[in-house]
Amino acid sequence: MPIGRSHSHSRSDFARKLRLRFPADTFEGNNMATKSDSTSLVSRQGWLLILASLITIALYFIPYGRYVIYPLMLFSTFAHEMGHGLTAILMGGQFVDFKMWSDGSGVARHLGSYGAVSRALISAGGLTGPALLGAAFFGLSRTGFVRLGLYLISAVAAFSLAFFVRNAFGVFFVVVFVMICLAFAKMAPEAAVRFFLVFLGMQLSVTVFSRGDYLFMEYAETSGGRMPSDVMQISDAIGGPYWLWGAMVGLLSIGVLVAGLWVFLRGGREEASAKES
């Protein structure tokens, strides 16, 4: 008999504005720059990303800080719940729908006859979804197809909107996200598009720490009701303490964050060296 489960989670004016906000060489190096200048540019971008990530985490603990990073919190919820649903499809199930609410909570419903390992993987799919998507963004940022990649991300989000998102707030958020991605892909300088992808990747990776209490909770309170947390569902499926599974997810996210920053900085230095050779 099919089993239903839910998983929750507590160049144009645009380009000119980017250049007004950031110095021109933040995104685009000077063709006459020396090798040390190019390396310095990469280092500045790396430190800027690290600073942005630390600020994101700090804002979760500062009064009213959550309002500042609210859109990023919603983005992580979207990645989290889509992770559950897409993993359910890979396990042979049916992704029924996905809903998210203005408080940042969300739920993904799916149907299927699953074994214990499949149930655990579906639960883990949501927890690791943001980190894995972040890793994909890091990898994409080092290719020569960053604009195409951002168009692809927009298409995937639009696909989810058409087939899975089933409440008003969720529809509103995904539409806004798609519009932002399309605007960057069409109008921003290529280096800014690359930086945007890495920024999103790092934000997805640090989200698990800024909302880390969820990794060590037995139950989650959402606008859809109270239900076992993802780590508790993993524990119920294959055993082991729920907090151990939470710790493993946290370690995975740390690994993705460190590896992603390394890939970005290493790739940038190689490009700088190639220009000088």
**pLDDT averaged over consecutive 10-residue blocks of the chain (277 residues)?**
56 47 47 52 69 78 81 89 93 94 90 93 88 84 87 94 94 96 93 87 75 76 77 92 89 79 69 58
* The two three-digit tokens of residue 273, written as one number: 């060296």
249 within a domain of the structure (yes/no)? yes
57 within some domain: no
In a domain, 159, yes or no: yes
Domain membership of residue 221 as a residue range: 70-97+114-256
Q: What is the number of structural domains in the chain?
A: 1
Task: Label the pairing between strands 106-112 and 219-222.
Answer: unpaired
Is 6 a domain residue?
Answer: no
Tokens of 65: 């800080």
| pTM of the predicted model as reported, rounded to 2 decimal places | 0.76
- 200, part of any domain: yes
| 218 located within any domain | yes
Domain assignment present for 58: no
In a domain, 133, yes or no: yes
